[in-house]
A and B are shown apart, each in its own frame.
Chain A
Amino acid sequence: MSDRDRAEARAVYSSANLPPANPSSLPRPHRTATLSRLLAAASLLAIGSGTALAADDQTAKPHVSNEALLKQLEAMEKRIKVLEGRLKQQQASPPAAAAAKPAKPAAAGPYAQAADAPKTSAATAANDPASEPARKPILGLVDSPVPGLSLGAYGEFFFGAHQNPAAGGQWQNGFDARRFVLLPTYQITDNIIFNAEIEFEHAGSGFDNDDKLHGTAEIEQLWVDFKIIDQFNWRAPGIDLVPIGYINQHHEPTQFYSVLRPELYNGLIPSTWKVPGSSVYGTIMDGLKYQVMVSASNEDFGDAFDSRTEGNTVPGPGTSYAAGINGHDALGFSNPPLGDFAQLSNAVAVSGRLDVAPAFMPGFAGSVSAYYSSNTTPRGAHDDLGNLLGNSSLTMFDAEFRYRVPNSGFEFRGEYVTALFGNPANLRANNDSDPTNNVGKTMWGASGEVAYHVPLGTILNSSWEAVPFYRYTIENLQTGGFAGTDVNEPTGAGQLQFHNVGVAVFPSPKVVLKGTYQKVINKDPAGANSDSFLGGVGFFF
Chain B
Amino acid sequence: MPDWFKWTAPAAALVSVTSAAHAVQYLSIPQAQKLAFPSASQFVETQAGRAWKAQAGGRTLGLFVFDHVIGKHLYIDYAVALDPGGRILRVEILQYRESYGGEVRQASWLAQFVGKTSASPLAINQDIRNISGATLSSHHVTEGVKRILAAYGHGLR
Binding site for B on A (CB under 8 A): 1-2, 5, 8-9, 12, 43-44, 46-47, 49-56, 109-111, 114-115, 117, 120-122, 124-125, 127, 129-130, 133-134, 136, 150, 152, 183, 185, 187, 190-191, 193, 195, 225-230, 232-237, 246, 249-250, 254-255, 278, 280-281, 283, 286-287, 289, 294, 296, 343, 346-348, 355, 357, 359, 362-363, 365, 402, 404, 406, 453, 455, 463, 465, 509-510, 540-541
Contact = CB atoms under 8 A, between A and B. Distances in A.
Q: 7 shortest A-B CB distances, which residue pairs?
A: A50-B46, A185-B73, A122-B143, A359-B108, A365-B132, A294-B7, A150-B73
B117 to A, nearest CB: 10
Given A125-B67, A228-B15, A111 B147 contact: yes
A476 to B, nearest CB: 28
Contacts of B103: 287, 289, 357
B150 A5 contact: yes
A348 B3 contact: yes
A541 B135 CA distance: 11
B75 A134 contact: yes
Max chain A C-beta neighbours (<10 A), residue from B18, B25, B73: B73
B130 to A, nearest CB: 6
B11 A47 contact: no
B50 A346 contact: no
Interface of B: 1, 3-4, 7-8, 11-12, 14-15, 18-19, 22-26, 44, 46-51, 53, 63, 66-70, 72-75, 95, 97-100, 102-103, 105-108, 118-119, 123-126, 129-133, 135-136, 139-140, 143-144, 146-148, 150-152, 154-157
B22 A193 contact: no
Contacts of B125: 404, 453, 455, 465
A281 B148 CA distance: 32
12 contacts: A55-B155, A125-B75, A129-B67, A190-B23, A229-B18, A230-B102, A233-B99, A234-B11, A246-B133, A255-B135, A348-B3, A359-B106
A280 B157 CA distance: 50
Contacts of B147: 111, 114-115, 120, 122
A193 B99 contact: yes
Contact of B133 (A43, A365, A510): A365
A357 B106 contact: yes
Contacts, number: 216
B66 A129 contact: yes
A230 B125 CA distance: 28
Given A190-B95, A234-B11, A129 B74 contact: no
A307 B135 CA distance: 42
A237 B4 contact: yes
A195 B72 CA distance: 11
A152 B11 CA distance: 30
B107 A125 contact: no
B99 A235 contact: yes
A278 B15 CA distance: 13
B97 A124 contact: no
A51 B53 contact: yes
Contacts of B14: 232, 234
Given A255-B135, A355-B133, A404-B130, A53 B7 contact: no
Contacts of B119: 1-2, 5
Contacts of A227: 24, 97, 99
A422 B133 CA distance: 33
B18 to A, nearest CB: 6
A365 B139 CA distance: 17
